A and B are shown apart, each in its own frame.
Chain A
Amino acid sequence: EPEVTQTPSHQVTQMGQEVILRCVPISNHLYFYWYRQILGQKVEFLVSFYNNEISEKSEIFDDQFSVERPDGSNFTLKIRSTKLEDSAMYFCASTSGGGGRTGELFFGEGSRLTVL
C-alpha cells in the first residue's frame, strides 16, 4: 500500500538554527498538509498546500515557517529560526481530494524535532 514517508525521523537542533523537514506524499495526491503534536497534546493543523500554493494556514504557522514543493515529489516544511517551543512531532499528510475515499488523509510516521 502506498504511504507517506518523512525524513528525518528525529532531529535535534540548537535554538535559532534552521530546520527542514521533508515529506514524500503519495504520488497521485494533490493536497498536502503539515500538522504538529507537542508531547502529550493534541494534533494541531499548521498548513495546507494545493496547486503549488498555501491554501490555508493556522495561527501557529507564522513567518518562521514556510513550505515548498520544490521538485514535484518532495514537500518540505522549513522552520527558519527554531525556538524551544517548536519541539514537537511534525506530521505530513496527503490526500487525492477525490474518488471513493474522498477526504481520507494519509499521514506519515512523523519527524520528531527536539530544540535545545
Chain B
Amino acid sequence: DAKTTQPPSMDCAEGRAANLPCNHSTISGNEYVYWYRQIHSQGPQYIIHGLKNNETNEMASLIITEDRKSSTLILPHATLRDTAVYYCIVRPNSGNTPLVFGKGTRLSVIA
C-alpha cells in the first residue's frame, strides 16, 4: 500500500503556481520522496525526487519539511498541459524497488 496521503483533487489557474501537498509521516530514513504524473492515460512521467534537501529542476520544485513527514511539489507557472494526476511516492533509492502508486491528486489547470 502507498505510504503517502494526498488530496484527491485540486484546481489551479493557468499561469499561477500549483502547490501540491503530500503527507508521508511514516517515511524511513533511507526513503526518498518521488513525484510522478500521469497525463490522461499515458505512462507515468518522472518529475522530481529528493531525500531531505529542497530540489529544483526544469519541471518543478520539491520542498521537503525538516522532519521529512511532508512535502510540497510546486509547479511555478502552471499551464493547461500540466493537467494530470500527480503521484507522491516514497521509495528507497534502489534500482530494484518498485514504485507503489497511490490514488494521487488530480490537478486541473483552468484557463
Binding site for B on A (CB under 8 A): 4, 30-31, 33, 35, 37, 42-45, 48, 50, 55-56, 89, 91, 93, 95-98, 101-110, 112
Decide: A106 near B96, CB < 8 A? Known: A42-B101, A42-B104, A43-B38: no
Q: How far is the CB of B90 from chain A (nearest CB, A)?
A: 11
By size class, the interface of chain B is 20 to 34
Tell me whether B103 is interfacial, beta carbon within 8 Å: yes
The reply to whether B95 and A102 form a contact with Cβ atoms under 8 Å apart is yes
The reply to whether A103 and B44 form a contact with Cβ atoms under 8 Å apart is no
Taking each of B44, B45, B49, B104, which has the highest tally of chain A beta carbons within 10 Å of its own beta carbon? B44
Q: Mark B43-80, 1 if CB is under 8 A from A, else 0.
A: 11110010000000000000000000000000000000
The reply to whether B95 and A30 form a contact with Cβ atoms under 8 Å apart is yes
The reply to whether A103 and B32 form a contact with Cβ atoms under 8 Å apart is yes
**Which residue from chain A places its CB closest to the CB of B41 in the assembled complex?**
A89
Q: Mark B2-35, 1 if CB is under 8 A from A, else 0.
A: 0000000000000000000000000000001010
B94 interface neighbour in A35, A89, A103, Cβ under 8 Å: A103
Q: How far is the CB of A105 from chain B (nearest CB, A)?
A: 6
Q: How far is the CB of A95 from chain B (nearest CB, A)?
A: 5
The reply to whether B46 and A56 form a contact with Cβ atoms under 8 Å apart is no
The reply to whether B41 and A110 form a contact with Cβ atoms under 8 Å apart is yes
Q: How far is the CB of B86 from chain A (nearest CB, A)?
A: 12
The reply to whether A42 and B49 form a contact with Cβ atoms under 8 Å apart is no
Contacts of B44 in A (CB 8 A): 43, 91, 93, 105, 107
Contacts of A102 in B (CB 8 A): 93-95
Q: How far is the CA of A83 from the CA of B21 in the complex (A)?
A: 38
For the complex of A and B, the 7 pairs showing the least CB-CB separation, nearest first, are: A97-B95, A107-B43, A43-B101, A104-B46, A45-B98, A31-B95, A103-B93
**Which residue from chain A places its CB closest to the CB of B38 in the assembled complex?**
A43
**Which residue from chain A places its CB closest to the CB of B98 in the assembled complex?**
A45
- Add 13 more A-B contacts to A55-B96, A97-B96, A107-B43 (CB < 8 A): A37-B41, A43-B101, A93-B44, A95-B95, A96-B95, A101-B46, A101-B49, A103-B49, A103-B95, A104-B49, A105-B46, A107-B45, A108-B43
